[in-house]
Amino acid sequence: MGRGQAKPSPAGGGGLGGGGVDRLLPPHGHHPHSDPPPPAGEGASPLIIAVDGPAAAGKGTLARRLAAALGLPHLDTGLLYRAVGRRVLDRGGDPRDPVAAEAEARALRREDLDRTDLRGPAADAASSAVAAIPGVRAALLEFQREFGRAHGAVLDGRDIGTVVFPEARVKLFVTASLAARAKRRWRELTGKGLAVTLAQVEADLRARDAQDVGRATAPLRPAADALQFDTTTLDIDAAFEAAMDLVRARLPR
Ligand code: DC
């Protein structure tokens, strides 16, 4: 994987590898590294673009296109929660168990993000369950921040504009109707040969939305200053163009 995907290391080091995310966590909110000077040409504050929204709304596609157009790294933060959920399942644990889930979040390795079983109904449900646990979110927070601070980035997720980078220069909130999202996800899954019905996919999305919106810590919601895109009818090219206009307007002249 290269620039523009989930793997690049934020600090030129191991990312999630080596000592795991723990290594990157500041003890008691203290930063382990003093802030390095910004890379040449990137100014004092790196360009952070937050793309949030519910599952299957098109935020991943939009984030990838923005990152490619702007030459920025992209981080699909959902992969972090998916990989934690998978690790819990591997050990026969319950993704709703805070002790087990936090332990796996702290033990996460970069290579976990390359697993090929991070998508599909079991991984979806496990990721949403571990994502509701405050200790899991805390364990993953600093990795996301370091990733973005290193060179700027486009990050997509649920709480990028509200929690991870409340100071992001551009915040987008991408939505679509449940029916439209279910159809997209169903096409994607059946295209991969999975035997799922549209009704099942819609029920799973509804349950995941309820959990992601209803949790107490970092719930899914648009930041007050986010620009909202409804992709139910807006196609991805139109959403991309509108997002790029917004980014250009926020770039220093
Ligand atoms: O974006 P996704 O569908 O791959 O995310 C999987 C789950 O991870 C999602 O149901 C909620 C959680 N998540 C989160 O809580 N915060 C994020 N920034 C990204 C994902």
Q: Report the pLDDT value the prediction gives residue 250, as an integer from 0 to 100.
A: 82
**102, two tokens:** 């936090």
Q: Report the pLDDT value the prediction gives residue 246, as an integer from 0 to 100.
A: 86
CA of 235 to the centre of ligand 1 (A): 23
pLDDT tens for each residue of 186-212:
999 899 898 999 999 999 999 999 999
CA of 81 to the centre of ligand 1 (A): 6
Q: How many CA atoms lie within 13 A of 40 on its CB side?
A: 0
What H or E segment, with its residue span, contains residue 51? strand 48-52
d(CA 155, CA 10): 12
What H or E segment, with its residue span, contains residue 52? strand 48-52
Q: Report the pLDDT value the prediction gives residue 30, as an integer from 0 to 100.
A: 31
Q: Give 102's contacts (C-beta < 8 A, 6+ positions apart).
A: 133, 135, 136, 139
Q: List the residue whose alpha carbon is closest to atom 4 of ligand 1.
A: 78
Q: List the residue whose alpha carbon is closest to atom 16 of ligand 1.
A: 158
CA of 69 to the centre of ligand 1 (A): 24
Residues with CB under 6 A from ligand 1: 55, 77-78, 81-82, 127-128, 131, 157-160, 208, 212
Q: Report the pLDDT value the prediction gives residue 210, as an integer from 0 to 100.
A: 95
Choose among 33, 38, 87, 55: nearest CA to 174.
55
Q: Report the pLDDT value the prediction gives residue 236, as an integer from 0 to 100.
A: 84
d(CA 17, CA 132): 24
Pairing between strand 74-76 and 153-157? parallel
What H or E segment, with its residue span, contains residue 49? strand 48-52
CA of 249 to the centre of ligand 1 (A): 29
Q: Report the pLDDT value the prediction gives residue 16, as an integer from 0 to 100.
A: 60
Which stretches in the chain have pLDDT values below 70?
A: 1-44
Mutate to test the pocket of ligand 1, among 158, 165, 181, 217 (most ligand atoms within 8 A of CB): 158
pLDDT tens for each residue of 155-175:
999 999 999 999 999 999 999
Q: Report the pLDDT value the prediction gives residue 43, as an integer from 0 to 100.
A: 55
Q: Report the pLDDT value the prediction gives residue 10, as an integer from 0 to 100.
A: 37
d(CA 160, CA 203): 26
Kindly indicate whether the domain formed by 9-13+47-250 is annotated with CATH number 3.40.50.300: yes
For the chain, give every domain's residue range: 9-13+47-250
CA of 239 to the centre of ligand 1 (A): 21
d(CA 10, CA 148): 7
CA of 43 to the centre of ligand 1 (A): 30
Q: List the residue whose alpha carbon is closest to atom 1 of ligand 1.
A: 78
Q: Report the pLDDT value the prediction gives residue 147, as an integer from 0 to 100.
A: 96
